[in-house]
């Protein structure tokens, strides 16, 4: 009788496990994206551009609301102070205070270097979305810096404004930390790597506070972005993300 009861219990447990939906690749990407963005956010960051013969530092503030609104303001060095970048739904704008000019950025500019760094305009202004502009597929799990990670292949959808043929991203299983991304061209060559490190609690969340972009074809080149401050789910309206406001931010 006991053996029969045990068999029925194991069978019920097996059926229950089979019925519970496994977390798929897109859900994992959504969790990782939510951890870094929230419903809205405000951040202060420093970017160090490293070249074999010189280095340059850029400081900036950024604000975001969902995936359709973001604004970046350069605060240093003095020659770039006040320069701003605005994404409002499907439009991208650049404010250049030294020449008192606003430029609407065409899609062709999104893959170009941002402020002379190894990050693109799209990386910082986020015209494309890792959630909605890619299809996602789980590959073999791996370990990154001691973290057990999902390895997910992201293939751009045909209509998405993305230059990469595919991206492999590595997300920790426990905290959904995006610890590494590998970017491949149409010939399946690995072109650049982004590493996330120095995991700390900031803004009430555990995140990688250091992002390092390394272009593999340019030996000795890299760009490091470090978070100084980060707040999530701030009270900010869509009206904040306007061309007029972009020009008067400090």
Share of the chain above pLDDT 70, in %: 91
Q: What is the mean pLDDT of residues 25-52?
A: 95
Q: What is the mean pLDDT of residues 246-250?
A: 88
CA 166 to chain centre: 15
The whole-angstrom separation of Cα 132 and Cα 113 is 23
For residue range 118-130, list pLDDT tens digits in order.
999 888 877 678 9
Return the pLDDT at 196. 97
For residue range 70-106, list pLDDT tens digits in order.
999 999 999 999 999 999 988 899 999 999 999 999 8
Return the pLDDT at 10. 40
Q: Which two tokens stand for residue 100?
A: 């008192």
The domains of the chain, with CATH numbers, are 23-248 (2.50.20.10)
180 neighbors 162 (Cβ within 8 angstroms):
no
Question: How is residue 106 annotated by DSSP?
Answer: P
């Amino acid at each position: 009788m006991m053996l029969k009861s045990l068999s029925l219990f194991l069978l019920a447990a097996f059926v229950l496990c089979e019925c519970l939906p496994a977390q798929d690749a897109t859900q994992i990407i959504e969790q990782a994206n939510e951890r870094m963005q929230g419903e809205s956010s405000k951040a202060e960051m420093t970017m160090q551009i490293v070249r074999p013969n010189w280095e340059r530092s850029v400081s900036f503030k950024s604000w975001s609301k969902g995936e359709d609104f973001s604004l970046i303001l350069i605060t240093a060095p003095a020659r770039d102070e006040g320069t701003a970048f605005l994404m409002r739904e499907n439009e991208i704008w650049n404010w250049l205070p030294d020449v008192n000019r606003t430029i609407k950025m065409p899609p062709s500019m999104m893959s170009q270097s941002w402020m002379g760094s190894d990050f693109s305009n799209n990386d910082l202004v986020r015209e494309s979305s890792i959630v909605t502009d890619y299809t996602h597929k789980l590959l073999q799990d791996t370990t990154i810096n001691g973290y057990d990670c999902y390895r997910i292949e992201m293939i751009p959808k045909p209509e998405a404004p993305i230059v990469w043929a595919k991206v492999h991203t590595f997300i920790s299983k426990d905290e959904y930390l995006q610890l590494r991304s590998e970017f491949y061209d149409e010939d399946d060559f690995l072109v650049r790597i982004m590493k996330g490190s120095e995991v700390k609690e900031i803004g009430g969340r555990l995140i990688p506070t250091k992002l390092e972009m390394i272009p593999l074809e340019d030996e000795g080149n890299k760009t490091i972005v470090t978070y100084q401050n980060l707040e999530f789910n701030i009270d900010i309206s869509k009206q904040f993300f306007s061309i007029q406001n972009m020009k008067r931010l400090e």
